[in-house]
Structure 1
C-alpha cells in the first residue's frame, strides 16, 4: 500500500450496461410487428437468463422456461444443444405445450438452436439460409459470409437475391476477420454461430431467434414451414464427429481418393470435395482428436445416405 501520490487523479463512475445491451438486441427487429407466440426456452443452466430475463420484458411472447438458473454443476447435463440427448427436454416441452417454437442456448449463450413446431431440430445450415434471405431482402447487394462445411443453399439464396456469398475458414476469429475485411452484413457458421455487422461483427445467441420470430410474424408461417423447401432442395448430413488418431493422414488420403474426379477441391478449412450433385467437407477439430464431417446433395436424400456411408467407411478403413 505504499504508493506515490498521483498528480492527477481519475474519476470513478458507474454504468448500467445491461439496458444498453438489451436496446442493441431489440434494434435488430420490429417488436410491434411480432405476434404473441408461445415459445419454450432452455438455458441448460448456463448464463443465458442473465440477458433473457431482461429481454423478455420487452417482448409479446408467452414463454415456458426450462433450466434457466445458472448453475456450474449443470444438474441437467452439459448445455450443448448439438447433442440430441440435451435437446430432448426442449423437444418434449414444445410438443406437450403445443408451442410455436423452441429455443436452446449453449452455456455462454453465443449460440442458439431451434426446435420447430413439430418438435424437429432444425439444422444450423438452414437457419443460415433463412437469416441470409432476411438480410438480403432488406439490404440489396450486401455480402453474406459462410463457412466451408455446407453452403450450396446459402450461395443459391445470395445469387437469387443479388447478394455476394464469401467463404471463410471456420472459427470465430477467422469469421470476424473475414466479416470485417469484406464488410459482410451477416455471417454464420453452421455450428449456430451467427455474426452481425451492426453487432461489432460479433456473434450473438439472442439476435437470431428474435429475427426468426419476426420472420414468422411477417410471413404467418412456423419455422418448419419456412425451412421445408431448403431441407428438400439441399438435404445435409448434419455435423458428424469421427474420433481419429491421425487427422492429417486421413485428410490427405481423402483428398487423394476423392479429389481426382471432383469439380472442385477446397482447402480453405480442412478438405472440401465437390461434385456436380454432392459435396462434403472434412475438417479437424482444434481441441479434440476428432475430424468433423459434413455432406450435402442437391435434392437427393438417397445419394446423401449412400455417399455418407461410403466416405465414412473409407475413413474408418484408414484407422
Structure 2
C-alpha cells in the first residue's frame, strides 16, 4: 500500500477512509507503535474507538499489529476519547490509541496517540511515520505473542466524574440540554449529569457514525441550532454540545446565546482562582485578550500558548498550570483532575459552578469590558502554501507589536488579529477582536490586504 505522508499531522494522524486509511494501515501503525512502546519499556496498551463505521475494524487491526510485535493490549471498545485517557491515568496502561475522526466529516478517521500519559505531537508523530514505513518493509518480530483482551471501563469513568464533582454541587437544581450530535459523548455524559442531580434533556445521544442529524462539531453555529431551540423551549439553564469523540465542548446560555470557548475558559478560570489564588492558566493564541487580562486582574498568571490539544496538554504539565484551554473547546483541568481534555468532565464542572450561584449563566461574565469578536474565520488554502503564508505574515506587520508563538498575533491599539495555519485542515485560521464593529472591520481589512500581497508574492 502507498502511505500518504500528509496524514501524519502536528498532533495526531488523520486521513480519508479507504483512501489514506485502511485496516492494513492500522495494522502497520499497531506494529510501529508497539516498537515505540518497547523502546520506552511500555506494555499493556489501551485501545478505544468512536462510532464511525471504520473505527472498530481499525481498533481490532491496531491490536493485531501490537500483538504481532509481542505487546499486550486491551480493547476498551466504543467510547469517548477522554475515557481512553482516563483508563491510562487510572488503570495502569502503558499508553493508548483512540481511533477517532473527532469533529471531521464522516468519510474521515484518525488516531490520537499516547505513550504513557503523554500525548504524541510534532517530531514524535513524524518518528511514528518512519516506524510505519519500516514496518511495511519488515515482517513482524513475534507474530501472535502479545495478548489481546477486552474491558468495559465506562461505569468506572462515569462514577469517577460524579464522585469528583458531587461534594462540590450546590443547592440550585438545574435543567440542562445536552446534544451529542450522535457521537460517543451520549454514552456517558447524560449519566454523569444525572448523577449530579441535573434534570437532563437529551438530543441525539444515540451513537451513529452517519451523524444523521447534524455534524458533531459544536464550534459551528448551524450545528447548535437544535440545541438553542430546545434550551429556549424547555426553559433550561444552559445547553451543552459535544464533538464526535467528546473531547471538545460547546455551550449556550439560558437565552440561547453561544459562549465561545475562550469565555467558557474564563468562567472556569474565575472559579479556580477563587479556590487557588495565583493559579497559572493557559489559553491558546486564538483566545480573547479579555481572558488573559481578567486572569491577571484576578491575581492569576495568564500564559498564551500554541493551538493544539496535545501541545496545550503537554504545556500544562510542563509549567504546573491548574487549567488550560483553546478557543475550539478543548479544555484541560489539572485542578481536581488529570490535565487532559474531557468535555464530559467540563460539563460536570460547569453545572457545579451554576449550582452554587443564583445568577443565570449569561450574567457570570457581565462585568467584562465590551468587545466585539469574530469566531474563527477559516480561509481555504492548499496544504503546501498555508505554512508559507503564515510564516510570511510574521514579517508583514512591522509597525505593530506581534507574537509569533503560533502564526502571528498582531496587537492593534484597541484590539488584535491572528493569522495561523491550521494543523488539521487545508485552511488559514483568522480571528479578530476590537472595541467596536468599525475597528473590527478596519483590522480585518488591513490583515486581508497584507495576506493578498503575500499570496501574490509566493
Corresponding residue of 1:164: 301
Cα 1:131–1:42 shift into 2, 3 Å = same
In structure 1, the partner of 2:291 is 154
Q: Secondary structure at the match of 1:233?
A: coil
Aligned residues: 305
Measured after TM superposition, the shift of residue 217 of structure 1 is 2.6
For the 8 Å contact 1:30–1:214, the answer to whether it is kept is no
**Deviation for aligned residue 1:66:** 0.8
For structure 1, list consecutive stretches of 5 or more residues without a partner in the other structure: 1-11
Given the alignment of the two structures, is residue 192 of structure 1 paired with residue 325 of structure 2, yes or no? Answer: no
Please give the residue correspondences for 1:202-281 in structure 2 after superposition, counting only pairs within 5 Å: 202-230=340-368, 232-245=369-382, 246-258=385-397, 260-262=398-400, 264-281=401-418
Distance 2:404 2:234 in 1: 46
Contact 1:195 1:201 in 2 (8 A): yes
Q: Which residue matches 2:451?
A: 315
**Structure 2 partner of 1:176:** 313
Out of 143, 156, 160, the position equivalent to 1:20 is: 156
Contact 1:34 1:60 (C-alpha < 8 Å) held by counterparts? no
State how far apart, in whole Å, the 2-side matches of 1:214 and 1:200 are: 18
In 2, distance between residues paired with 1:273 and 1:201? 30
Deviation at 1:280, TM superposition (A): 1.4
Match of 1:142 among 262, 272, 279: 279
3-state secondary structure, aligned to 1:274: strand
Q: Residue 438 of structure 2 corresponds to which residue in structure 1?
A: 302
CA distance in structure 1 between the aligned counterparts of 2:372 and 2:273, rounded to whole angstroms = 23
**Using the alignment, how far apart are the partners of 1:29 and 1:167 within structure 2?**
32
Cα distance in structure 1, aligned partners of 2:273 and 2:418: 26
Secondary structure (helix, strand or coil) at the match of 2:431 reads: strand
Question: Is the 8 Å Cα contact of residues 34 and 214 (structure 1) preserved in structure 2?
Answer: no
Greater CA drift, 26-35 or 56-65:
26-35
What does residue 8 of structure 1 align with? Answer: none
Shift of 1:78: 1.6
Cα deviations by residue, 1:189-233 (Å, 9 ceiling, x for unpaired): 111000122432211101222222222232311111113333x43
Alignment deviations for residues 224-282 of structure 1 (CA, whole Å, 9 cap, x no partner): 1113333x434321211111242234324533332x111x2211111111123211111
Cα deviation 1:69-106 (Å, max 9, x = unaligned): 00111111221112221111111111122222111110
Taking the aligned partners of 2:166 and 2:235, their CA distance within structure 1 comes to: 25
In structure 2, C-alpha distance between the alignment counterparts of 1:257 and 1:91, rounded to whole Å: 40
Are positions 1:108 and 2:240 aligned together? no
1:305 deviates by 2.9
Shift of 1:44: 0.5
Q: Does 1:44 align with 2:181?
A: yes
Structure 2: which 5+ residue stretches go unaligned?
1-147
Are 1:286 and 2:423 matched, yes or no? yes
Structure 1 residues 43-52 or 32-41, which shifts more? 32-41
RMSD: 2.4
Question: Conserved in 2, the CA contact under 8 Å of 1:113 and 1:124?
Answer: yes
Alpha carbons of 1:191 and 1:29: their partners in 2 closer, same or farther (altered >3 Å)? farther
TM-score normalized with structure 1 length:
0.87
CA distance in 2 between counterparts of 1:156 and 1:28 reads 28
